[in-house]
């Protein structure tokens, strides 16, 4: 099959309208939220800002569908057939989904087509395949008893997603929740709502009963909070910032003691020891690890901790990797670099860089913005040296393409610098001495460790999730399906009847 031409006219893209509730798009007369195109800052469209009443309508629809549609009670393999068809439809509509992602998020169309859309389909397919593989346990009880642990769905799961990678984030939340037999009400980020709504429409086309997967649009503090607090939401699965995660955890505790899965922020280190097999490869891993999606990835490796003996050579090799990075409209198939999502986020990056410079940091390379990009904020990759663990750009999740550089002299010092006081999402370790790399792996508190590589593969079996304030629980892997089910302990006496 030949690759379609991916260049497109952004003004010709059809946007889903309203909310997606009970298997259909619903228009409301609620206040509208303007959605901008990050690529050029122009107005893309609007979504309604759901009131608590609309959230209640969506959750009631989901609850009713969960009780009556047979989704929860049919065999997992029957659910898997629908999820598999859904994944096929996602693949089939890859071009239009990639276009939707490219107009409203920070994803260049070629990357959305080559990775975001197929990864989204793969995540759904993975959970379809896993649906009947985790059935609970038989307990070791007395011989005249039978004890077992049965898994069952929670009911309606509330999912809340961020603006980065909207398609993938939706599949990470919905794949396990739906495979386990739950219904879902999802609130996407108000900045990137459209591709999620289209996924919900495709789920119904694939045969998912109306009301099992719903999307409500709106702002976090109102719509998101109403979802978290709703009495018929049995669990919350959230991806976003650590600050919002704490608010949601508190809300979930105060409104029904609901369990939460929280995938939160990070400030991940790239620890490079003195001996690496291939310096060019290491430099490529580090460059792509902090500029992917314009640095707006939770696992972005934004703190380089490098042995003094190779620091200059590695920094030169990283600079060489960054020289050809170029901005361009996200609807042009040759664009490979992402803009910052919004003016507010660009201002936050600028402030943290300025505060870092005021505290002594030195710009070693890049910085500022590409010109000739309309109103889009395409931040040039930047390297900051002369920093300490207290420098704002080292301490805070900056969410932009800025790499700080620190050096060390021995293994203990390098590992100590790699640790972060509050975050523990991911870490990269680069060393040709596997013993050294594994020692560091054991000592660094991070939910994911990549050795001599950086970034996720397409292996959906590998879960993702953070330690410390980077999160609670896992997305992907068997763990995500297990976390979408509650476990009932059953004990039967044979001879009491």
Catalytic positions, please?
263, 298
Q: How far is the CB of 243 from ligand NAD (least distance, A)?
A: 7
Which residues does 162 contact at the CB level (< 8 Å), separation at least 6? 169, 189, 239, 240, 241
265/367 with CB nearer ligand NAD? 265
Q: Of 162, 209, 301, 329, which one interacts with ligand NAD (CB under 6 A)? A: 162
263/411 with CB nearer ligand NAD? 263
Interstrand relation of 423-424 and 402-408 (parallel, antiparallel or unpaired): unpaired
65/160 with CB nearer ligand NAD? 160
Which residues does 389 contact at the CB level (< 8 Å), separation at least 6? 395, 406, 417
Q: How many CA atoms lie within 13 A of 57 on its CB side?
A: 18
Q: How far is the CB of 133 from ligand NAD (least distance, A)?
A: 23
Q: How far is the CB of 223 from ligand NAD (least distance, A)?
A: 7
Residue 15 DSSP one-character state? P
List the x/- string, 199-228, binding to ligand NAD by CB under 6 A: --------------------xxx--xx--x
List the x/- string, 359-398, binding to ligand NAD by CB under 6 A: --------------------------------------x-
Query: Strand runs (DSSP E) across 89-144, as ranges?
Result: 136-139
* Share in percent of the chain as helix, strand, coil (round to 5): 40, 25, 40
Task: Give the total of residues touching ligand NAD (CB under 6 A).
Answer: 31
Q: Of 241, 359, 373, 389, which one interacts with ligand NAD (CB under 6 A)? A: 241
Which residues does 402 contact at the CB level (< 8 Å), separation at least 6? 290, 295, 302, 349, 352, 353, 367, 379, 381, 382, 383, 384, 393
Q: How far is the CB of 261 from ligand NAD (least distance, A)?
A: 10
List the x/- string, 329-348, binding to ligand NAD by CB under 6 A: --------------------
23/240 with CB nearer ligand NAD? 240
DSSP 3-state assignment of 193?
coil
List the x/- string, 168-197, binding to ligand NAD by CB under 6 A: -------------------x-xx-------
List the x/- string, 252-271, binding to ligand NAD by CB under 6 A: -----------xxxx-----
Q: Which stretch binds ligand NAD (CB under 6 A): 87-95, 111-119, 159-167, 327-335?
A: 159-167
84/241 with CB nearer ligand NAD? 241
Unique residue bearing structure tokens 């500029």: 291
Q: Considering the rule CB under 6 A, would residue 244 count as an interface residue with ligand NAD?
A: yes
> Do the beta carbons of residue 339 and residue 328 sit within 8 Å?
no
Site residues for ligand NAD, 398-417, by CB under 6 A, read: 399
CA 35 to chain centre: 20
Q: Considering the rule CB under 6 A, would residue 116 count as an interface residue with ligand NAD?
A: no
Interstrand relation of 260-263 and 471-472 (parallel, antiparallel or unpaired): antiparallel
Q: Of 52, 247, 437, 441, which one interacts with ligand NAD (CB under 6 A)? A: 247
Q: How far is the CB of 474 from ligand NAD (least distance, A)?
A: 9
169/283 with CB nearer ligand NAD? 169
Residue 220 DSSP one-character state? I
Q: How far is the CB of 447 from ligand NAD (least distance, A)?
A: 8
Q: Nearest CA to 82 among 128, 122, 135, 119?
A: 128
Q: Of 160, 178, 317, 405, which one interacts with ligand NAD (CB under 6 A)? A: 160
Tokens found for residue 437: 């790399």
Q: How far is the CB of 482 from ligand NAD (least distance, A)?
A: 18
Q: Which stretch binds ligand NAD (CB under 6 A): 22-30, 38-46, 240-248, 347-355?
A: 240-248
Site residues for ligand NAD, 425-484, by CB under 6 A, read: 425, 464, 466, 471
Q: Nearest CA to 153 among 177, 128, 122, 171?
A: 177
Q: How far is the CB of 59 from ligand NAD (least distance, A)?
A: 14
Tokens found for residue 198: 């289209």
22/162 with CB nearer ligand NAD? 162
Q: How far is the CB of 217 from ligand NAD (least distance, A)?
A: 10
Which residues does 178 contact at the CB level (< 8 Å), separation at least 6? 71, 79, 83, 127, 184, 203, 208, 212, 213
Residue 377 DSSP one-character state? B
Written as one string, the DSSP assignment of 260-320 is EEEE----EEEEE-S--S-HHHHHHHHHHHHHGGGG--TT-EEEEEEEHHHHHHHHHHHHH
Interatomic CA distance for residues 298 and 164, integer angstroms: 9
Q: Nearest CA to 148 among 478, 496, 488, 486?
A: 488
Residues that bind ligand NAD (CB under 6 A): 160-164, 187, 189-190, 219-221, 224-225, 228, 239-241, 244, 247-248, 263-266, 298, 397, 399, 425, 464, 466, 471
């Amino acid at each position: 099959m030949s690759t379609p031409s991916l260049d497109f006219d952004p003004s010709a893209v059809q946007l889903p309208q309203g909310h997606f509730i009970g298997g259909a798009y619903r228009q409301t007369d609620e206040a509208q939220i303007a959605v901008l195109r990050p690529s050029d800052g122009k107005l893309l469209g609007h979504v309604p800002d759901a009131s608590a009443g609309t959230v209640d309508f969506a959750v009631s629809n989901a609850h009713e569908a969960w009780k009556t549609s047979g989704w929860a009670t049919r065999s997992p393999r029957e659910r898997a057939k629908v999820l598999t068809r859904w994944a096929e439809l996602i693949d089939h509509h890859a071009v239009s989904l990639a276009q939707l992602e490219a107009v409203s998020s920070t994803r260049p169309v070629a990357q959305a087509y080559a990775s975001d859309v197929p990864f989204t389909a793969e995540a759904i397919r993975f959970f379809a395949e896993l649906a009947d593989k985790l059935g609970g346990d038989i307990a070791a009880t007395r011989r005249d008893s039978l004890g077992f642990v049965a898994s069952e769905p929670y009911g309606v799961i509330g999912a809340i997603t961020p603006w980065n990678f909207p398609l993938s984030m939706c599949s990470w939340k919905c794949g396990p929740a739906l495979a386990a037999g739950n219904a879902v009400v999802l609130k996407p980020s108000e900045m990137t709502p459209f591709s999620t709504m289209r996924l919900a429409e495709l789920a119904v086309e694939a045969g998912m009963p109306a009301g099992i997967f719903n999307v409500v649009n709106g702002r976090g503090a109102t719509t998101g909070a109403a979802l978290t607090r709703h009495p018929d939401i049995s669990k919350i699965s959230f991806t976003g910032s650590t600050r919002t995660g704490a608010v949601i955890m508190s809300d979930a505790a105060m409104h029904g003691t609901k369990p939460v899965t929280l995938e939160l922020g990070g400030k991940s280190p790239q620890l490079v020891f003195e001996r690496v097999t291939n310096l060019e490869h290491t430099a490529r891993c580090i460059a792509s690890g902090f500029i992917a999606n314009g640095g707006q990835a939770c696992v972005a490796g934004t703190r380089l901790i490098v042995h003094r003996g190779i620091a200059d050579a590695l920094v030169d090799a990283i600079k060489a990797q960054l020289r050809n990075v170029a901005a361009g409209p996200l609807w042009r198939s040759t664009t490979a670099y992402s803009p910052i999502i919004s003016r507010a986020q660009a201002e936050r990056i600028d402030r943290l860089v300025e505060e870092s410079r005021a505290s002594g940091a030195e710009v070693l390379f890049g910085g500022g913005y590409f010109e000739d990009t309309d109103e889009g904020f395409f931040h040039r990759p930047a390297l900051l040296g002369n920093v300490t663990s207290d420098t704002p750009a080292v301490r805070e999740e900056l969410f932009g393409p800025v790499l700080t550089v620190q050096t060390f002299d021995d293994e203990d010092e390098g590992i100590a610098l790699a640790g972060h006081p509050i975050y523990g999402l991911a870490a990269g370790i680069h060393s040709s001495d596997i013993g050294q790399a594994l020692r560091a792996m054991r000592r660094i508190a991070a939910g994911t460790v990549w050795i001599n590589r950086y970034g996720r593969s397409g292996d959906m079996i590998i879960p993702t999730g953070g330690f410390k304030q980077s999160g609670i629980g896992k997305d992907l892997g068997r763990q995500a399906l297990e976390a979408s089910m509650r476990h009932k302990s059953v004990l039967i006496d044979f001879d009491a009847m």
